Structure 1
């Protein structure tokens, strides 16, 4: 027994129309024993090359992809939290640098006898 795969008059693959025939039976018109490869969106059969190819446009394929959902309130809060933590880290770094600068200035003023 062999599986054969159906296509319409424009050679478009008709999924779900596969049938099984005896090994020595003739393949009916509109069928082929060449199995379409996985992953085709709109398979089309080339009788001359005895091969299937993708006939769907990229726009059609993209239209089938799930739409990205807008971020949830939790996602927005997580992003805001990351931003705030980054700002806090930068502020702490500036405070540390200013503290070091002030200490150096006090030492210089002390050395010069100003204070």
Structure 2
């Protein structure tokens, strides 16, 4: 058995399948060349896999989101409660 790699009409990677090792003819839109690790949106150009993600898309994926701490959450809730009590008074 060997793995083969499926791509769509735009030649973008969409999955993996397995065929018999002795099968020399690959189905259409498959290659036996594995996409290298680390590609976000691999595209097969007929000879190799290339990266197609833009720098802006990559920056968005790598954007660090900061989570607020428990103390900050409690402070925010206390502030909201004070505002509610002041409006009710």
What is the SS of the residue equivalent to 1:18?
strand
Q: Which is strand-richer, 1 or 2?
A: 2
Q: Which is helix-richer, 1 or 2?
A: 1
Match of 1:20 in 2: 18
The number of aligned residues is 70
Instruction: Provide, for residues 72-98 of structure 1, a one-character-per-residue CA deviation record: whole Å limited to 9, x for no partner.
Output: 6x8xxxxxxxxxxxxxxxxxxxxxxxx
Structure 1 or 2, whichever has the larger Rg, is 1
Deviation at 1:33, TM superposition (A): 0.2
TM-score w.r.t. structure 1 length? 0.54
Q: Which runs of 5+ in 2 are unaligned?
A: 72-89
Instruction: Provide, for residues 34-82 of structure 1, a one-character-per-residue CA deviation record: whole Å limited to 9, x for no partner.
Output: 00000101100011xx10010110101111114342886x8xxxxxxxx
Q: How far apart are the structure 1 equivalents of 2:67 and 2:17?
A: 44
RMSD of Structure 2 on Structure 1 (CA): 2.0
Q: Which runs of 5+ in 1 are unaligned?
A: 75-115
